């Protein structure tokens, strides 16, 4: 299995924010979900990958090519969908094809039309008349029509209704059926990532604080609900984060099976990505 | 790169159509004698030269630049596409001016006079674009707009002030030259757009440098 994206020691500093030593790997045949709060560094990471901003340090390889020194080769087999539709309102979907066909040597006009048909997008209608969902579907059609091996998506499903989101997620699952393909997607909608992602990377304040396979995370991590007195009886090393409320305490553990064995009187239940994100982002360290 | 030129043509099509109607209207007025035809041919160049600047505004509204840079083209080709579009516009302006001049010539008037006027305006327009295109990359179209007025009006104001101060610009040599050979004046005026086109190279390199340093 080869890696479609390799990021090593990525650093990027702004006045009020820094991305610190980000390491990420996206193996082919898989989907990596990037989660994190607003301003955590997800979009900056994607912008560094696409060379939209200059990195201060580190290395980024896309499909085996350095993303700066071999930018053109690196991006040739990459499809990009960002959080907005960048096509001018006055254009029509058929115009998008005219614009992008000379850009991508592998542009497939038939495939683009097939996607338009699949997503019920009228070729003759101007983009300004499209809904947000239609615009995102158009962006996705444009990103897929040159047979990319790698899709990079930044909040591509944000603001879409569940039906459109489901349709787009199914398309991602279809895309990933080819073992050479891979998807990097950032999203706030952790339930979407629970559906489709193989790996999860959680970026918090510019650092990757959690990166593992989704199954490992959901199988191993656990949420413990207990009283303040029970919390006192747990060794701090056995807890990752704690949240204390008026009616009780909650804690995040990294291995709920081991926790259950050690503390048979306490219940460590399966948790969600959203809960893990909340614990790691807002919980107290033990 | 041709894809981006196509994009500029497609997004400018609506504006170009309305410009076309205005030009046609003025041409009819010119043909009927309300305006000098030399004014109309110069007007064509002024209108069309605005299109590359409008293209920046359209791109800004769509937030296109970030997407364009994410494509497998490289930033220099993104800039090259805008300059190529500008050159195409110049050629179209020239073709329209030539067509008008030919039509007027068929009515027994001078062919070279309106065309010379178009060349002079095109040359000036190209100088304006050579300055404005890098500024649009640096500041964005909205913040660059005051510089457009500066580039156009500062020379006019300077000439006016010079005139008021008694410094008369003696252009009678042009009349004398035109009396001797209209073709010579035409050739001299043709040097203006040519030098404007040559200056596109440093302007392009400057724009590339600006875009290279930009983050999206």
**Average of pLDDT values for B71-75?**
94
Domain boundary among A160, A182, A212: A212
Which of A101, A103, A143, A155 to probe the B interface (max B CBs under 10 A)? A103
Please write down the HEC assignment for all residues of A138-153. HHHHHHHCCCCCEEEE
Mean pLDDT of B26-50: 78
Structural domain boundaries in chain B: 2-212
Q: CA-CA distance, B189 to B196, in Å (whole number)?
A: 11
Distance from CA of B22 to the nearest CA of A (A): 21
A245 and A281: one domain?
Answer: yes
pLDDT of residue B113: 81
Q: What is the DSSP string of chain B?
A: -HHHHHHHHHHHHHHHHHHHHHHHHHHHHHHTTSS-HHHHHHHHHHHHHHHHHHHHHHHHHHTHHHHHHHSTT-HHHHHHHHHHHHHHHHHHHHHHHHHHHHHHHHTTS-SHHHHHHHHHHHHHHHHHHHHHHHHHHHH-HHHHHHHHHHHHHHHHHHHHHHHHTT-----HHHHHHHHH-HHHHHHHHHHHHHHHHHTHHHHHHHHHHHHHT---
Which of A191, A212, A233 is where one domain is finished? A212
Pairwise CA distance, residues A132 & A127, whole Å: 10
Cα–Cα distance for residue pair B82/B151, rounded to 1 Å: 20
3-class SS string, B142-196: HHHHHHHHHHHHHHHHHHHHHHHCCCCCCCHHHHHHHHHCHHHHHHHHHHHHHHH
Kind of pairing, strands A31-35 and A199-204? parallel
CB atoms within 10 A of CB B72: 17
Q: Over range B68-89, report the average pLDDT.
A: 95
A44, closest residue in chain B (CA to CA): B216
Last residue of one domain, picked from the residues A190, A212, A234: A212
Residue B187 has pLDDT above 90, yes or no: no
- Are A232 and A205 within one domain? no
DSSP-H helix ranges across A119-255: 132-144, 162-175, 190-196, 214-220, 228-232
Q: Do A104 and B7 touch (CB under 8 A)?
A: no
The reply to whether A110 and A149 lie within a common domain is yes
Q: What pLDDT, on a 0 to 100 scale, did the predictor assign at position A93? A: 96
Contact B69 A50 (CB under 8 A): yes
Smallest CA-to-CA distance from A85 within A27, A154, A17, A30 is with A154
Is there a contact between B62 and A86 if contact means CB atoms under 8 Å apart?
A: yes
Computed over every residue of chain B, the mean pLDDT equals 87
The 10s digit of each residue's pLDDT in A243-276 is 988 888 999 999 999 999 999 988 899 999 999 9
The CA distance from A247 to the nearest CA of chain B, in Å, is 46
More confident residue, A2 or A200: A200
Residue A253 DSSP SS3: strand
Question: What does the pLDDT average to over A34-43?
Answer: 92
The DSSP 8-state label assigned to residue A241 in this structure reads: E
State the residue range of the domain holding A254: 221-285
* Residue B132 binned pLDDT confidence (cut-offs 50, 70, 90): very high
**Predicted local distance difference test score (pLDDT) of residue B135:** 95
Q: Across the A/B interface, how many CB contacts are shorter than 8 Å?
A: 80
pLDDT on residue A13: 95
Query: Nearest 5°: phi and psi at A254?
Result: -85, -15
* Preferred mutation among A72, A77, A99 to probe B, highest tally of B CBs within 10 A: A99
Q: Which chain B residues have a beta carbon less than 8 Å from that of A91?
A: 7, 10-11
- Please state, for a pLDDT cut of 90, what percent of chain B lies above it: 41
Query: What ipTM goes with this model?
Result: 0.86
Q: Are residues A117 and A229 in the same domain?
A: no
Nearest to B3 among A50, A82, A99 (CB): A99
In this prediction, residues B141-152 reach a mean pLDDT of 86
List the single best residue of B7, B14, B78 to mutate versus A (max A Cβ within 10 A): B7
Yes or no, beta carbons of B66 and A82 under 8 Å apart: yes
Are A166 and A195 contacting, i.e. CB atoms less than 8 angstroms apart? Answer: no
Q: Are B101 and B115 in contact (CB under 8 A)?
A: yes
Question: Chain B: nearest CA to A104, how far in angstroms?
Answer: 8
Whether residues A226 and A251 fall in one domain: yes
Structure-token pair, residue A38 = 């607003």
Which of B3, B13, B70 is nearest residue A50 as measured by Cβ atoms? B70
Evaluate if residue B35 carries a pLDDT over 80. no
Collapsing DSSP to helix, strand or coil, A35 comes out as: strand
Instruction: Calculate helix-pair angle for B172-180, B182-198, nearest 10 degrees.
Output: 120
Give the residue among A106, A111, A116, A46 at the shortest CA–CA distance from A77: A106
Tokens of B32: 């009927």
Whether A107 has a pLDDT exceeding 90, the answer reads yes
Rounded to 5 degrees, φ, ψ at B141 are -65, -35
Q: Which pLDDT does position B101 carry in this prediction?
A: 85
Give pLDDT tens digits for A193-252.
Answer: 999 999 999 999 999 999 999 999 999 999 999 888 888 888 989 999 999 888 889 999
A285 pLDDT more than 80:
no
- SS3 state at A225: strand
A15 vs B: CB within 8 A: no
Query: Using a CB-CB distance cutoff of 8 angstroms, which residues of chain A are in contact with residue B59?
Result: 88
pLDDT band at A1 (very low <50, low <70, confident <90, very high): low
| Residues B55/B11, Cβ–Cβ less than 8 Å | yes
- Tokens of residue A132, six digits: 């947000």
Is B3's Cβ below 8 Å from some Cβ in A?
A: yes
Residue A106 half-sphere exposure, CB side, CA atoms within 13 Å? 14
Tally of structural domains, chain A: 2
B160 or A167, which is more confident? A167
Q: Which residues between 88 and 107 in chain B have a beta carbon less than 8 angstroms from any beta carbon of chain A?
A: none
Residue of B59, B66, B74 lying closest to A72 (CB–CB): B74
What pLDDT was estimated at residue B162?
A: 81
Q: Does A25 touch chain B (CB under 8 A)?
A: no
Residues of chain B contacting A53 with CB distance shorter than 8 Å = 215-216
B197-214 mean pLDDT: 96
Q: What is the spatial distance between Cα B163 and Cα B154, in angstroms, rounded to a whole number? A: 14
Q: Which residue is listed with tokens 């209209």?
A: B182
Are A123 and A113 contacting, i.e. CB atoms less than 8 angstroms apart?
yes
Is the same domain home to A20 and A161?
yes
pLDDT at A143: 96
pLDDT at A52: 95
pLDDT tier at A73 (50, 70, 90 boundaries)? very high
Query: Does residue A248 share a domain with residue A114?
Result: no
Percent of chain B with pLDDT over 70: 100
CB of A194 within 8 Å of a chain B CB? The answer is no
User: Do A228 and A110 fall into the same domain?
Assistant: no
For the beta carbon of residue A62, count every other beta carbon within 10 angstroms.
Answer: 28
Judge contact between A40 and A57, C-beta under 8 A. Answer: no
Which helix (H) or strand (E) element contains residue A79?
A: strand A78-81
B174 pLDDT above the threshold of 80: no
For residue A245, what pLDDT is reported?
Answer: 83
Residue of B66, B76, B212 for testing the chain A interface, max A β-carbons within 10 Å:
B66
Rounded to 5 degrees, what are φ and ψ at A186?
A: -95, 145
How far apart CA B122 and CA A12 sit, in angstroms, is 45
Residue of chain B minimizing CA distance to A75: B72
Half-sphere exposure of B206 (CA within 13 A, CB side): 15
pLDDT tens, A130-184?
Answer: 998 899 999 999 999 999 999 999 998 887 888 888 988 999 999 999 999 999 9
Find the mean pLDDT for residues B50-63.
Answer: 93
Query: Which pair of tokens denotes residue A41?
Result: 């560094």
- Asked if A47's CB is within 8 angstroms of B216's CB, the reply is yes
Q: Indicate the average pLDDT of chain A.
A: 92
A-facing residues of B in 184-203 (CB < 8 A) are none
């Amino acid at each position: 299995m080869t890696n479609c994206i390799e990021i090593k020691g990525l650093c990027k500093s702004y006045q009020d924010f820094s991305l610190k030593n980000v390491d990420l790997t996206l193996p082919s045949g898989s989907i990596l979900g990037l989660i994190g709060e607003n301003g955590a560094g997800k979009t900056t990471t994607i912008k560094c990958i696409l060379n939209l901003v200059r990195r201060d340090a580190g290395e980024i390889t896309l499909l085996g090519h350095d993303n700066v020194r071999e930018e053109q080769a690196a991006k040739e087999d990459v499809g990009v969908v960002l959080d907005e539709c960048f096509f001018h309102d006055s254009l029509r979907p058929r115009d998008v094809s005219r614009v992008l066909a000379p850009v991508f040597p592998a542009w497939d006009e038939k495939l683009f039309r097939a996607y338009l048909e699949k997503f019920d997008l009228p070729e003759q209608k101007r983009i300004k008349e499209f809904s947000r969902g239609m615009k995102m579907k158009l962006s996705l059609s444009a990103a897929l029509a040159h047979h990319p091996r790698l899709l990079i998506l930044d909040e591509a499903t944000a603001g879409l209704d569940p039906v459109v989101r489901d349709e787009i997620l199914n398309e991602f699952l279809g895309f990933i059926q080819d073992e050479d393909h891979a998807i990097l997607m950032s999203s706030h909608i952790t339930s979407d990532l629970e559906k489709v992602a193989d790996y999860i990377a959680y970026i918090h304040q510019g650092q990757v604080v959690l990166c593992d396979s989704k199954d490992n995370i959901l199988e191993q991590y656990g949420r413990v609900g207990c009283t303040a007195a029970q919390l006192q009886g747990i060794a701090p090393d056995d807890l990752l984060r704690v949240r204390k409320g008026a009616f009780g305490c909650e804690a995040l553990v990294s291995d709920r099976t081991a926790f259950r064995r050690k503390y048979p009187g306490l219940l460590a239940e399966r948790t969600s990505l959203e809960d893990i994100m909340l614990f790691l982002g807002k919980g107290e360290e033990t | 790169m041709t894809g981006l030129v196509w994009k500029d043509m497609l997004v400018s099509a609506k504006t170009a159509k309305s410009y076309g109607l205005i030009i046609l209207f003025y041409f009819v007025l010119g043909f009927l004698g309300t305006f000098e035809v030399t004014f109309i041919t110069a007007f064509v160049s002024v209108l069309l030269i605005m299109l590359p600047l409008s293209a920046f505004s359209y791109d800004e509204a769509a937030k296109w630049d970030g997407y364009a840079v994410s494509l497998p083209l490289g930033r220099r080709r993104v800039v090259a596409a805008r300059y190529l579009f500008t050159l195409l516009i110049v050629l179209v302006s020239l073709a329209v001016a030539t067509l008008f001049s030919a039509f007027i010539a068929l009515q027994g008037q001078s062919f070279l006079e309106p065309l010379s006027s178009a060349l002079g305006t095109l040359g000036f327009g190209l100088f304006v674009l050579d300055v404005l295109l890098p500024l649009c990359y640096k500041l964005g179209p909205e913040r660059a707009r005051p510089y457009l007025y500066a580039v156009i009006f500062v020379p006019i104001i300077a000439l006016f002030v010079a005139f008021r101060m008694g410094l008369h610009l003696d252009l009678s040599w042009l009349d004398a030259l035109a009396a001797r050979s209209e073709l010579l004046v035409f050739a001299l005026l043709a040097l203006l757009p040519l030098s404007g086109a040559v200056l596109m190279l440093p302007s392009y390199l400057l724009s590339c440098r600006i875009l290279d340093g930009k983050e999206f």
